[in-house]
Structure 1
Amino acid sequence: MISSMPAFAQKPLHAGIDYQQYLKAIDTTQADLDEWRKKYGDTAQKNGWWPVSKDRSADDQEEDLRQRIFLTKQSISAQQAANPNANFSIMTPFSALTDTEFDTYVLNSFIGRNSTKSDKGTTKYQPTATATGSESITDLSDNSSDNVSFVKSLGSFVDTLINKLSMGTGQSVSNNFIDANLISYKFSDVWNWLQPRLTSTLTANTPVTEASSLPETTEKSSTSVDWSTSECMAPIQNQGSCGSCWAFATVSAVESAQCIANGNSSLTKYSVQQLVSCDTRNWGCDGGIPVYAFDFMLQNGLCTEDSYPYTSNRGVEDTCRSSCNSQDTGITGYSQLSGEAELLSAIDEHPVVVAVAAGNVVWKQYTGGLVSSCSTTRLDHAVVAVGYDSSSIKIRNSWGTNWGEDGYMRLARSSSGDGTCGMMLEMSTPQM
């Protein structure tokens, strides 16, 4: 047993913790922490998924981490009932992050196609711990002059941003945000508020097939497809603390599609880093729009992974290099899909890029099985649909092989609505 706790441990360090329950479970929580640290500690530290503070002692760090693991276990219990056929556990790389920190990490990765770029790097994910170990979150729950001033400034910033982007949707948003009672502010609230008002700005010469103009499917899709077992699928990669899912997803889809189109002969592994560092229409480690990445490949080609390896796992884009020789990836355009029938038909041909709502406990703690429900449908992460069967869509992620089913997830099929975790809302596939 833990016979004595440091003075630092005499109070709860995180909002929402049931401290009396925590004290009762402190020994089992410590055992869980020791097991987690043995398997995932190095990975979490390497990728910035283990918030630390140099201002705290080793005992203080340990207490903070133990409370984080306890909170994670509570979150898992709440989600399991909604997903009876899925498995969740603290044995994932993200268990030392609070749910809010994980949400922020994922939010920085994907930006919907109905967006455009202004300034790069405004919302980097930076996992940190305060001197007291609690999350550093701006409290806007009161109507103090400082808070009202901040909200007005925030609204003014967004209005200015939209006007500068010449969107033609210049309605004011400042007062609406102030009237929302100033409760539970975090950046994701601002993103939800801003995102629907942005419009597409793709280059005019990119061949794009909208879902409504796709040829009608005359044959039913296969009973099942699984490209993950094909020679045309590269090993799972890890984006680290860089919000580069958009680059990993699009590169994976294109390199697999090219390999399949060439008769499954051989896979050319292309550079994700080139997109992160050189695609100036996207935001590098601060997120990106998959169709912009397709556009970049169409216009510029890509270097190979060997000649331009990934170096942004710690969240730094690095300067664009011109020393490698770009190759033709075979992409001639892309199609935007709508509904499960079009998704399955496209997967029959090759893997498809889909956006999902991943900034939640379901994705944070997933270890296997069939996911049927997510707590949100806010799109914040780009992945690749690589297969399906009668009950599921198989998803390739970019969080390493220590996550999920060796880097993959299965989402329940849905013939109507937004799809599980919102996966039917935004789908695109390269044309070869």
Structure 2
Amino acid sequence: MRSLLFITLLLAFVASALAFDSDFLNEPVHDRVLIDKINNSPKVAWKATSYSQFEKMTLGEFRKRLGTVLIQKGTADMLPKKTIAPLVGTPAAFDSRTKWPNCVHPIRNQEQCGSCWAFSASEVLSDRFCIASTGKDNVVLSPQYMVSCDTSDYGCDGGYLNNAWNFLATTGIPTDSCVPYTSQNGDVAACPSTCQNGGSIKLYRAKNPQQLNDIPSIMADMEANGPVQAAFSVYRDFMSYKSGVYHHVSGSLLGGHAIKIVGWGVDSVSNKPYWIVANSWGPSWGLNGFFWILRGSDECGIEDNVWGAGVLL
């Protein structure tokens, strides 16, 4: 079973890499016609814009801001999943930032490295250490340590969520101040043996990471323990997201992306249910670095591959 899973994942990774021709990847990031189509359609529940920081980038360059190898539905069923009984009276809206305002850490920026898998996993673990310790371990943990040291993933060329959580459980990661992020330009430093100041590395580890089985389990785990990690398929229109409840309208598939889900709600304008999601493209993108995505219909696979974990205090 393990070898079959590996072969399936490897084939999915190779197919993704070969799916784009050079002409397409040389196109500019923003499609003005597509942006106008989104903004002028009454059937679309979100608004699009162009971002100055992406103006001179090609699609090929932008794809470096993705980096999660997506697991197909059939393959995902091979992985162990956890079902959690929903809490009594699950609220219509929930926001981790409100429940734990000092523990859900600020938006970060992975820049030109496909390290979203490491950013979102380390951010979830950071938040959960703070929550589980009632603020005593209010740490920002190091995505760079995962990029440089997790040999089961591919550094700036992407990674798997299940591998990332296995690394967090078996090895662990230090604080960001110990091993700060240096892969902004796509270069990956060797795995460090000491902190940047020469001090000893203290590792923070996850406990019993689990892929969450369904929406009630996702909600129950988030409400009790804090944000979760998820992956989804990114299409060209998503890069231009500005506000509202994202759902795919048009544009080619660009790859997989990992993010941190912090809550859920219902849009008062469109009446559509959504997840509240923290991205890793900086605070000037979307809703101050966050976005809403349609909840309950597995939009772009957002509910397929969701992870939570305890922490070793």
TM-score interval, normalised by the smaller of the two chains: 0.7 to 0.9
Report whether the alignment pairs 1:386 with 2:262: yes
| 1:217 matched residue in structure 2 | 86
Question: In percent, how many aligned pairs have the same letter?
Answer: 25
**Secondary structure of residue in 1 paired with 2:54:** coil
**Secondary structure of residue in 2 paired with 1:309:** coil
Distance 1:336 1:374, change over 3 A: farther
Distance 1:377 1:74, change over 3 A: closer
State how 1:181-192 maps to structure 2 within 5 Å: none
For residues 372 and 354 of structure 1, what CA distance do their matches in structure 2 show? Answer: 16
For residue 239 of structure 1, what is the amino acid of its counterpart?
Q
Report whether the alignment pairs 1:428 with 2:307: yes
The answer for unaligned runs of 5 or more in structure 2 is 1-21, 267-272
For residue 231 of structure 2, what is the amino acid of its counterpart?
A
- Describe the superposition over 1:12-36 as per-residue Cα deviations: whole angstroms up to 9, x where unpaired: xx979xxxxxxxxxxxxxxxxxxxx
For residues 154 and 93 of structure 2, what CA distance do their matches in structure 1 show? Answer: 36
| 1:332 matched residue in structure 2 | 207
For residue 45 of structure 2, what is the amino acid of its counterpart?
N
Distance 1:273 1:328, change over 3 A: closer
Match of 1:401 among 276, 283, 306: 283
For residue 385 of structure 1, what is the amino acid of its counterpart?
I
| 2:246 matched residue in structure 1 | 371
Distance 1:103 1:86, change over 3 A: same
Report whether the alignment pairs 1:90 with 2:50: yes
- Describe the superposition over 1:353-404 as per-residue Cα deviations: whole angstroms up to 9, x where unpaired: 011122422x211122221335478860000101112332100011011111
For residue 171 of structure 2, what is the amino acid of its counterpart?
N
For residue 293 of structure 2, what is the amino acid of its counterpart?
L
Is this contact kept in 2: 1:249–1:382, CA < 8 A? yes
| 2:193 matched residue in structure 1 | 322
For residues 286 and 15 of structure 1, what CA distance do their matches in structure 2 show? Answer: 21
**Secondary structure of residue in 1 paired with 2:211:** strand
Is this contact kept in 1: 2:235–2:248, CA < 8 A? no
Match of 1:295 among 140, 153, 166: 166
Is this contact kept in 2: 1:241–1:314, CA < 8 A? yes
State how 1:257-296 maps to structure 2 within 5 Å: 257-296=128-167
For residues 348 and 287 of structure 1, what CA distance do their matches in structure 2 show? Answer: 29
Distance 1:314 1:268, change over 3 A: same
Distance 1:90 1:321, change over 3 A: same
Is this contact kept in 1: 2:118–2:164, CA < 8 A? yes
For residues 312 and 74 of structure 1, what CA distance do their matches in structure 2 show? Answer: 34
Structure 1 or 2: more strand by fraction: 2
Matched residues, number: 275
Q: CA deviation at 1:84?
A: 3.0
For residues 197 and 308 of structure 1, what CA distance do their matches in structure 2 show? Answer: 37
Q: Give the structure with higher Rg (CA).
A: 1
For residues 92 and 343 of structure 1, what CA distance do their matches in structure 2 show? Answer: 35
For residues 91 and 81 of structure 2, what CA distance do their matches in structure 1 show? Answer: 23
- Describe the superposition over 1:93-142 as per-residue Cα deviations: whole angstroms up to 9, x where unpaired: 324334x43673355x0013x5xxxxxxxxxxxxxxxxxxxxxxxxxxxx
Distance 1:275 1:395, change over 3 A: same
Distance 1:68 1:302, change over 3 A: closer
Distance 1:222 1:110, change over 3 A: same
For residues 343 and 274 of structure 1, what CA distance do their matches in structure 2 show? Answer: 27
| 1:75 matched residue in structure 2 | 34
For residue 426 of structure 1, what is the amino acid of its counterpart?
N
For residues 377 and 260 of structure 1, what CA distance do their matches in structure 2 show? Answer: 36
For residues 311 and 106 of structure 1, what CA distance do their matches in structure 2 show? Answer: 15
For residues 385 and 197 of structure 1, what CA distance do their matches in structure 2 show? Answer: 23
For residues 171 and 289 of structure 2, what CA distance do their matches in structure 1 show? Answer: 29
Is this contact kept in 2: 1:225–1:347, CA < 8 A? no
| 1:150 matched residue in structure 2 | none
The answer for unaligned runs of 5 or more in structure 1 is 1-13, 17-50, 52-66, 115-194, 202-207
For residue 280 of structure 1, what is the amino acid of its counterpart?
T
Report whether the alignment pairs 1:110 with 2:76: no
**Secondary structure of residue in 1 paired with 2:217:** helix
Question: Structure 1 length as normaliser, TM-score?
Answer: 0.57
**Secondary structure of residue in 1 paired with 2:119:** helix
For residues 330 and 101 of structure 1, what CA distance do their matches in structure 2 show? Answer: 35
For residue 32 of structure 2, what is the amino acid of its counterpart?
K
Report whether the alignment pairs 1:307 with 2:178: yes
For residues 95 and 220 of structure 1, what CA distance do their matches in structure 2 show? Answer: 46
